[in-house]
A and B are shown apart, each in its own frame.
Chain A
Amino acid sequence: MEAVRFDNVKYSYREDEDTFAVNGVTLSIEQGEFVAVLGRNGSGKSTLAKLINVLLEPTEGSVQVFGMDAADPDLTFEIRKNTGMVFQNPDNQTVASIVEDDVAFGPENIGVPREEIGRRIDFALDAVGMQAFRHATPNRLSGGQKQRIAIAGVLALLPKIMILDESTAMLDPRGRREVMEVVKKLNREQGMTVILITHFMDEALQADRAVVMHRGEVVMDGKPEEIFARSDELETYNLTLPRAAYICKKLRAAGMPVGEAFTAEELAEEICRSLQKA
């Protein structure tokens, strides 16, 4: 089933101008896909995300979420319930002083019965591995833990799509790993559709599909490995290769017979093989 469909969508932050933050995007995301969205700051990634859960309405074109038309005000609520969004700054997404109250905030707002809320908190905290912190105070947790609580708060609404808008940007490497593990698990085990906006190329490599945005348009769309193999094109959009791929490219340019490599392990493998051949 199609989770998200964009048909020639344009969005402008200023009504009086012809500058579009999203400029004619046509895009289809299937249920269960894990899609990374790449692009420079200001390329329209976050605007795209906000159009999905109707935080913004398109200036032109149409957005559909699970077949529901985002332009229909009667469906706005239903769409938002199904599209959870996690933002960049963990400190801006905490509303309560106790973890379980924070997770309960969403379901309470949509009128979920009390007993059901308890079950949802259990489910959500288990899913992000934070059950042990149920009665803790969010402001004494690490950044990675806070983001996992933010994800749990979204999960408690039982969404079908999870959008992460640079949710790992403010975390240290350990926090980033924690969040990525949780996201991958949700995608694999629960079939959650994941849209991950990121500047970290190694995170994009963990997705099924990568979409590159440039000046409001989708300019590349494919498997992450395919995208990174088109390095010259990527460069024109001011994106960099994962470092292993960059080194690989240099080696190839010098005539070394190395194939594609995206991780340190793959790179070591390629170097080993070509040195043995020499």
Chain B
Amino acid sequence: MQIVAKGLTYTYDAKSPFAAQALRGVDLTIDEGEFFGIIGHTGSGKSTFVQHLNALIRLTGGSLQVGEFDLADKKCDLRALRRRVGMVFQYPEYQLFAETVEKDVEFGLKNFQKELSDADRASAVAEALETVGLDYESVRGQSPFELSGGQKRRVAIAGVIVTKPEVLILDEPAAGLDPLGKKELMELLHAIHGGWCKTVVVVSHDMDEIAENCTRAAVFEKGKVAMCGAPADIFRRADELAEMGLDVPVTARCARILRERGIDVDTNFTCDDFARKVIALWEKGGEGRAQ
């Protein structure tokens, strides 16, 4: 499903003294198959935007097409849309509620696919839990509240992917995890991506994460898309990002200093690629000297 937003606007608490315009005309296209990143500091409108994608916030201005769903159409089948566009909120483990892991994960399924037999439902739950790296038999009967923080988050994600949404949106999915937990989570998303899950959209403050994982990214600033493109193209504009109060990856900061000193590192800003390119420069320099 392709996502096309045109001139999207949204105001919180409209007609009240606290009215705050969160979106001021967002134009953005996310193609099917992308691993798309959304960057921007708090209050830039990124969360408001993603909540539009499965109609948690209803369209009030502009247009939004998600696959065949026209969100401006009052008769748009929201149930069908939400089944195909899954949303993982920030700190989704805070939304765990059921007595057992199994009951928590199957909740969405029971609501979206009432027709499923018990056996089919159990196997879907098992598959979702295995996908997030948990052993179905050993966790199914446990209370989700007795699990570790990282496991809780996995259960919460399983509860969203159990319906196999074609588009999966995650708001800061790795926030608060330790470095290895972050890495494992991104690997998990890559493993899902390309199968039944065609498109992944991640909101993140971690620029290195964006550089290392995304096909393209959009930078939100004051309710608009300020930049959109491959991470390499975005992070080359480090000065502009800094002006917006955003961080840039360590590699981009380093590349900028090197450029000022006349050394051009042509990198996509992932750590491995950056190291490779620097080593190549060094080896070339060495050869030059040898000749």
Which residues of A are in contact with B by a Cβ distance under 8 Å?
A: 39-42, 88, 142-143, 166, 169-170, 172-175, 199, 201, 238-240, 242-244, 246-247, 250-251, 254, 256, 263-265, 267-268, 271-272, 274-275, 278
Residues of A within 8 A of B91 (CB): 170
**Bound: A114/B13 CA distance, A:** 38
Contact A274 B282 (CB under 8 A): yes
Among A40, A175, A263, max chain B CB count under 10 A is at: A40
- Let me know if B229 is at the binding interface, CB within 8 A: no
Q: List 24 A-B contacts (CB under 8 A).
A: A39-B178, A41-B149, A143-B42, A170-B175, A173-B41, A174-B41, A174-B245, A199-B178, A239-B178, A240-B180, A243-B271, A247-B250, A256-B282, A263-B250, A264-B250, A264-B251, A265-B257, A267-B254, A268-B258, A268-B261, A271-B263, A275-B281, A278-B282, A278-B289
The reply to whether the CB of B154 lies closer than 8 angstroms to some CB of chain A is: no
Task: Answer whether A244 and B42 are a contact pair too, CB < 8 Å, given A174-B245, A272-B261.
Answer: no
**Whole-angstrom distance from the CB of B101 to the nearest CB of chain A?**
18
Q: A251-B275, A264-B253, A275-B263 are in contact. Are A40 and B285 (CB under 8 A)?
A: no
Let me know if A40 and B275 touch, CB within 8 A.
Answer: no
Kindly list chain B residues whose C-beta atoms are within 8 Å of the C-beta of A88.
176
Question: Contacts A41-B177, A143-B42; is A173 near B254 (CB within 8 Å)?
Answer: no
- By size class, the interface of chain B is 35 or more
> In the complex the two chains form, is A271's CB within 8 Å of B246's CB?
no
List chain B positions with a Cβ less than 8 A from chain A: 41-43, 91, 148-150, 175-181, 183, 205, 208, 245-247, 249-251, 253-254, 257-258, 261, 263, 271-272, 274-275, 278-279, 281-282, 285-286, 289
In the complex with contacts A271-B278, A275-B282, A173-B247 CB distance below 8 A:
yes
Q: Is the CB of A172 within 8 A of B254?
A: no
* Given A246-B271, A254-B275, A272-B263, 5 further pairs, Cβ under 8 A: A174-B41, A199-B178, A240-B180, A247-B278, A264-B257
How far apart are the CA atoms of A240 and B261 in the complex, in Å?
30
Q: Which residues of B are found within 8 Å of A41, using beta-carbon distances? A: 148-150, 177-178, 181
Establish whether residues A175 and B254, one from each chain, have CB atoms under 8 Å apart when the complex forms.
no
**What separation, in Å, do the CA atoms of A77 and B177 have in the docked complex?**
33
Q: Are A173 and B246 touching (Cβ within 8 A)?
A: yes
Q: List B contacts of A242 (CB < 8 A).
A: 250
CB-CB < 8 A to A268: which residues of B? 253-254, 257-258, 261
Nearest-CB distance from A198 to chain B (Å)?
Answer: 10
Decide: B251 and A243 in contact? CB cutoff 8 A.
yes
CA distance A256 to B277 in the complex (A): 12
Q: Which residue of A lies closest to B275 (CB)?
A: A250
Give the CA-CA distance A265 to B278 in the complex, in Å. 15
Bound CA span A173–B42, Å: 9
B258:A272 contact, CB within 8 angstroms:
yes
Flag if B180 contacts A169 (CB, 8 Å).
no
Closest to A202 in B: B250
Q: How far is the CA of A244 from the CA of B275 in the complex (A)?
A: 10
Q: Considering the chains assembled together, what is the distance between the CA atoms of A175 and B245 in angstroms?
A: 11
Which B residues are in CB contact (< 8 Å) with A240? 179-180, 183
Contact partner of B42 among A172, A238, A250, CB < 8 A? Answer: A172
Select from chain A the residue with minimum beta-carbon distance to B179.
A240
CB-based contact A42/B282 at 8 Å: no
A257 to B212, CA, bound (A): 26
Question: Which of chain B's residues have a CB closer than 8 A to the CB of A267?
Answer: 250, 254
CB atoms of A175 and B42 under 8 A apart: yes
